[in-house]
């Protein structure tokens, strides 16, 4: 039996990015962790039916749990389908979980998922330790982004004038 060509078992393939997290938070550190999933969730992820809006992770009783990750129920399964926003356990080494416990207890830091992807056939999540941005931080980031874009446009137009 052959595997579908668009689902390679080797390498990485991004399912979704949480671009809003980079706008709302300062990313301080990232961790790669596995997820405990059921079969219908993996099938939905292969089709890209997932939303990371408002999802976050918490340490509960020395275990790391992911909340509010929406994985659309698989449309071909009629019974025994998964719940769309159920809490999902994250898999990390004990030392990494202990570090995250310390980070979570610091004031203003939170655990935000930034990327969901397949790595060698397994679903992985990039979890970031983040600190919320203030409104003036967001304005400053957009101003620097606009200035950089204008500089690139000016460089491109000057190159066009040379030829």
Q: What is the pLDDT along the chain (163 residues), one digit of tens a residue?
A: 344 445 556 778 888 898 888 888 889 999 999 999 888 888 888 888 888 888 989 888 989 999 998 888 877 766 677 677 889 999 999 999 998 888 888 888 889 999 999 998 889 999 999 998 888 888 998 899 999 999 999 888 887 776 6
Give the CATH fold of the 12-132 domain.
Small Protein B; Chain: A; (2.40.280)
φ and ψ of 75, to 5 deg? -75, -20
C-alpha torsion 131→133→137→142, nearest 10: 110
Six token digits for residue 79: 């019974």
* H or E, element range at 157: helix 135-162
Domain extents for the chain? Answer: 12-132, 134-163
> Global pTM?
0.76
In tens, the pLDDT along 107-150 reads 888 899 999 999 988 899 999 999 988 888 889 988 999 999 99
């Amino acid at each position: 039996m052959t595997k579908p060509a668009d689902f390679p078992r080797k390498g990485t393939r991004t399912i979704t990015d949480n671009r809003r997290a980079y706008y709302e938070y300062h990313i301080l550190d990232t961790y790669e962790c596995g997820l405990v999933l059921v079969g219908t969730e993996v099938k939905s992820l292969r089709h890209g039916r997932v939303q990371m809006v408002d999802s976050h992770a918490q340490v509960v009783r020395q275990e790391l749990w992911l909340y509010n990750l929406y994985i659309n129920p698989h449309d071909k399964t009629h019974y025994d389908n998964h719940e769309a926003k159920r809490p999902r356990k994250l898999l990390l080494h004990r030392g990494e979980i202990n570090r995250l416990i310390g980070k979570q207890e610091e004031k203003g830091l939170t655990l935000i998922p930034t990327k969901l992807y397949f790595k060698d056939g397994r679903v992985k999540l990039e979890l970031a330790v983040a600190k919320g941005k203030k409104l003036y931080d967001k304005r400053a980031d957009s101003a620097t982004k606009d200035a950089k874009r204008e500089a690139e446009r000016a460089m491109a137009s000057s190159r066009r004038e040379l030829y």
